[in-house]
Amino acid sequence: RLPEVTSSALGRARCARARAPAARASRAAGLWRGTMTSLYETVRRTRPTTADADRAAGVSPNAHLDGRSGGSEALLNGHGGVYDLALKAKIDGSKSLLSGLWSSASAMPEVELEFEHPVSVEELRASLRSLRSAGAALNAARGAAHAEPLCLRLQCEALQFLQPTWGAPGAQPPLSSGAVPACSSSAPATKGHAEDEEAKPQDSTTYLLSKEELQRMRAEMRNSCHRRQEEQARRRHEIVSGCPVFLSMRMRRILELALRLRPAHVGGDGDGDFDAMCLDDASAQVVAALIVRHRFSYAQVLSFVKTEAKSTLNSQDLYTRTLAAMADDMKNNNPPTGVEFKPEPCIPASRPVFPGCEAAAALLKPAGAIAVADESALAKGGGSLRRLRSWFGPDDDVAGSHDDLYKVRRKIVMSDLPIWSRQDLIKQTVAANKVTLLQGETGSGKTTQVAAYILEMVEALKSEAAYPAPRGASGPPCRIICTQPRRIAAITVAKRVAEELGEVVGEGVVGYKVRGVSVCGPKCKILFCTTGVLLRRLSQEGQNDMFSPKTVTHLIVDEVHERNCETDFMLTFVRQVVQQREHLRVVLMSATMDAECFLRYFSIGASQPPLLKVEGRCFPTHEVFLDTINSRFGRDGMSKGMSPDELRQAPPKSASENDGIDYELIAEILKEIDSSDEGAWQFVSEAEKGEHHVANPKTGAVLIFLPGTGEISQMVATIEEAGMPEHWWVLQLHGALGAEEQQDAFKTVFPAGKTLKIIACTNVAETSVTVPDVTVVIDSCRERRTGIDKFSNTPQLKEQWCALDSLKQRRGRAGRVQPGVCIRLLTQSRLESLEGKTLPEMQRVPLENIYLQLCSIGIGNHNEFFAKTPDPPEETAVKLARAALRDLGALDDRAADGLTPLGRHLAALPCHPRLGKILVLGCLFGVPGAVLSICAAMSGRSPMMTTQDTQKRSAWQTERAKLLQEVGCKSDHCAWAVLMQLWSSEGVVRRDLCKRYGLSYERMSAAFFERRHLCESLVQAGFINKDFLKEERERLQDLDQPDVEPPDWTVVCAVIAGGLFPNVLQVERSSPKFSGPSTAGEKNKWMRYSILQTHLNDSGAVSYPKACNMHPNSLCFGQDHYKCPLLAFYTIQQTTKLYVYDATEVSPWAILLFGSPPVWNEASRRLEVGGWAHFACARGDLVLPLINSAREALMAVLTRKIKDRDSPFDPAAAPELQACVALLRSAGLGFEVVPQEPPSWPFLEQLREEGAEQIAETARERAMEARMLAPGGRAV
């Protein structure tokens, strides 16, 4: 190989001749260094050093050979035998070893090299003489036309001298004559070499290239550069494209022990290569250090460690040499940011994930098993192993329990309601018909009165023995269910009905059930509940026993016009079974229902259900539009009421951080209403004022409709910052509030000193719920409506204009007690362009939740069921739902209900299945708090705000980058979990936290409330204990323990990736044209992102890569280096481009354990997951059975949890889970690097100190103000 190495070196030297003298000198030094490196490395590999021979020779292993002639002879004469010799070749300022090629040797710097190799004295003496004679020959030939070919030939022949055929130790290699450039120096020549020195020419003429030669040289340089770039690109592609999987022998044995597998025989693959699937402890620790401490990617580590492991004997050398090789290859070739090339003195300390015998013994604990009979029973009708008992009221299965006759005695008689005069007609119609439609206008009293009328009817029929009686004369217990679309409506209406009957809700015949709360006793006959709660009860009953007398005898569906998925889902079941249930009566109620649609849907042949209409009791309400408001305040053109879509597409200057809602304008309107004697009537025209006389225009409360809880928080903050008068009573009303807080809005007795009640609410106050004293409505005309993202088939809670039917409901809230005023924050022309009715939710949202409910109930033909809904969805939406659930691992065609154990758990959670899977996995792997925060944030809009203020945006990005660095993983979702934890911590000022990181206060508030609701769902499912939130709050409020240990973010990222799969994008880094420091935007230009786009048609699924972009608001924007070139995402949306808004770096083992079943492609030697994620694995036949066993063990744990939902879940009791946690934490290596500092919540202590200083400063200011004024208002 040596002649080839030297030939290429001299070929590069020919190109370097035409450069400047200084450059030529530097090039000469580099050429000599490279040639000698290749030469002595070959010699070293040919004949390794023998330590015994060194000791026998009795010589020092560090003898030196000076490159100058005098020093070399003296050193050679002083030693003999065979020994390790360190060569220091010095090219000093006198002349060059390659003087035959360069004439400007005097400018060369001194270069010192040191190599160790076995060599004999006679060999070195002969080699030096040959080098000098060859130099003389080259100098004589310089300037001739054949100088370069001659130099090359002579150099090749000379190098053959040092390519010996070694025999026994100490044998002398044969030498022959040849030519090598002279080895000369400024030192005087020793005896025996004077002839060589005299033979050197003194001419220093420079050889000049012709024009043709220069052109040829340039062409050769360009071709060489192109070949070098192609080789670099090929190698980079090989490194980046194939993310490998690591598995140590330690981790393999741990998994086999925990999963109770027979230990597999793992031998070498025969070629002696480095095997990433069978790492020993030393290699595993080196790989762990390079990945965790030095932050190299998996592919980079495998590529370089595999090369260096061939010639390295111990882990320290492997660690050092690998880092050196990485530095040589990447440091000057646009290295990624964040990696550390400098090695530490010793390998970073690491610890095994399962040290000692105690951990091994823990894995041997019996994991428990579930009988096959039990598992089959779980797959039937909703997964209940016991016979269902009565849902409320008297228990039919308990001896002595019976339904007593109940005499309805009203404490409050609402005879002034319009529906009072129609009660007899309603009773007769409901008794005579299976389905009844009741269209009652706003204020008619249908919501609070119909349930009581039906109860009176049932009790009257029982007393007359006319009630259907399959159980005997008394018949089944009366169970009246009234469904409401929102939990606040169910609670409020139940309390109102109980109050009219003279009872306390939950103690008499009236109760309610909402998510996480059940208030009903054994006497309960009227139950108010949300639609979702009833659906979960129906899923437990199964298809054959649905709507049994143990659940319901009379079903009232209120606000049926809202047409959400749950309502349509339930109505489809009602239509299928209502004719088969003798006891069942159904009443559909709404003020704005599409009566024709429901009449057609429930018709049987030519027979239609009856339709009853009841007029409302509402005073006239006058509308005031934004045109009038702008004119009144002189705000021409300042507030135009832009829609959310227009705001997203508007120029940057048109966008604002307030999402288009003018909070300052609303605060100004409130001040005008309070200060004027006419109140809100000052905005009404004189002609309209004359039509209705209002005795006291300022009487009543003000109701402000806003899209969500975040906007409500922002509105309240704006009012407070604008200088709220002390007599204002500002309240919030939305579904995230507790029941007690919600009731404040319905109080008509004000606290002392309060005269004006202002309620900021969402659309929960639009229907069902009636605030009794409202006379003014300020309507933003916006709502959060659930939609679907066509690219990822995920739900999106998008803000948009309301439909006209919703606006009509809101306007009616102001005319309950007297003529009212409704102020619309949009122009009249804009109002006329809005859609008339809200599109049914079934046609605009993903159907995964509905599909899961169908499976859990036991319905086999899903397409047929969807076709029977009132407004069937598109067939493509059903196919997408089925494909998404299959990718999540929720469907199993072999099961009776078509669900896996994971799917049965997801069916019981009230969230999107992807978020539900994250929650389930987070509880299984011991990180419930983090995943609760993440899923709460993903349920709404991202809490990260953006702004057009360059300075503010730069400050936010800086703080966010610091936060991401402290977390230690590249993940938007983990950063959200940290921010939510800081938000909840005692001593942290939330406003300052939002200001520092650019967070939306209202979105953080909404996420905080949603987190509590998700926690309640996990408590009901049995994954966490009921005191989880209390215990967590106590830990965070303990200021004496500022460093509460955070979760393992590696496990959190793995859980996120497993839950979001197949929402995975591939990342590729192209080589930038210019290296050096750059901004996040410049780095992002060289990143390429792509997702797997899937289209479904009649012939099947068609998938292809589609380019996308990382949104600038994501914390991953500008990141140019990932350990694995895959990112999991949740939100993706097409605006000006296809943007990914949040992402998390993926772990290979997370995808293999939680994604689609992996397949090993023997041709490419890769593990493939879902046809999109590929992982390099040379020995897939060994690792694939281990992966499948771990996946089956995970399903077995979930199956056991279904069997025992009521007992608290303990992840430590499942050894298979502990082994999988160790696998994820260590990336399959069995070792985790010890952190340099103990883990803690980032910046928590700093924020607490800043909060304490701010509180103290505020207290000092208030104390100063108090001292400045005397009690009588005089200055002290």
pLDDT tens-place string over residues 162-172 = 443 333 334 33
pLDDT at site 1272: 52
For 473-519, give the secondary structure using H, E and C.
Answer: CCCCCCCEEEEECCHHHHHHHHHHHHHHCCCCCCCCCEEEEECCEEE
pLDDT at site 884: 85
pLDDT at site 297: 87
C-beta separation of 912 from 849 below 8 A: yes
CA 885 to the chain's CA centroid: 18
For residue 1065, give both structure tokens.
Answer: 């994008």
**Element holding 141 (H helix, E strand):** helix 121-141
pLDDT digits (tens, 9 = 90+) for 180-201: 333 333 333 334 444 444 444 4
The yes-or-no verdict on residue 71 having pLDDT over 90 is no
pLDDT at site 863: 84
Residue 807 or residue 94, greater confidence: 807
The yes-or-no verdict on residue 1133 having pLDDT over 60 is yes
The yes-or-no verdict on residue 491 having pLDDT over 70 is yes
pLDDT at site 1105: 85
Q: How far apart are CA 562 and CA 837, in angstroms?
A: 10
C-beta separation of 518 from 551 below 8 A: no
**Mean per-residue pLDDT, 68-89:** 32
From 488, 466, 469, 465, select the one nearest 477 (Cα to Cα). 469
Q: Phi/psi at 116 (nearest 5 deg)?
A: -120, 130
From 1007, 1018, 1013, 947, select the one nearest 976 (Cα to Cα). 1007
pLDDT at site 374: 42
Question: 928-939 vs 1049-1060: helix axis angle to the nearest 10?
Answer: 50
1126-1129 vs 782-789, strand pairing mode: unpaired
**Element holding 1108 (H helix, E strand):** strand 1100-1110
pLDDT at site 480: 93
The yes-or-no verdict on residue 1253 having pLDDT over 60 is yes
**Mean per-residue pLDDT, 715-742:** 82
Q: How confident is the model at residue 458 (pLDDT cuts 50, 70, 90)?
A: confident
Q: Which amino acid is at 613?
A: K
The yes-or-no verdict on residue 974 having pLDDT over 80 is yes
The yes-or-no verdict on residue 144 having pLDDT over 70 is no
pLDDT at site 372: 36
pLDDT at site 700: 85
For residue 996, give both structure tokens.
Answer: 């520092």
- DSSP assignment of 651-720 equals -GGG--TTTT--HHHHHHHHHHHHHSTTGGGGGS-HHHHHHS--S-TT-SEEEEE-SSHHHHHHHHHHHH
Which residues have CB under 8 Å from 386's CB, separation 6+? none
Q: How far apart are CA 469 and CA 456, in angstroms?
A: 17
Instruction: Kindly state the DSSP code that residue 248 receives in the 8-state scheme.
Output: B
Residue 185 or residue 226, greater confidence: 226
The yes-or-no verdict on residue 7 having pLDDT over 60 is no
Q: How far apart are CA 81 and CA 59, in angstroms?
A: 9
**Mean per-residue pLDDT, 68-81:** 33
Rg (CA), the chain: 40
Q: Poorest-confidence range of 77-86, 567-576, 779-788? A: 77-86
pLDDT digits (tens, 9 = 90+) for 346-373: 888 888 886 554 555 555 554 443 333 3
pLDDT at site 360: 53
* Segment of 730-739, 809-818, 965-974 carrying the highest mean pLDDT: 965-974
pLDDT digits (tens, 9 = 90+) for 1039-1088: 455 456 788 899 999 999 999 988 899 888 876 655 555 777 778 888 88
Q: Poorest-confidence range of 424-433, 975-984, 1010-1019, 1242-1251? A: 1242-1251
Secondary-structure breakdown of the chain: helix, strand, coil percentages, each rounded to the nearest 5: 45, 15, 40
| Cβ atoms < 10 Å from Cβ of 116 | 14
Q: How far apart are CA 318 and CA 323, in angstroms?
A: 8
Instruction: Kindly state the DSSP code that residue 329 receives in the 8-state scheme.
Output: H
The yes-or-no verdict on residue 45 having pLDDT over 70 is no
Average predicted confidence (pLDDT) for the chain? 74
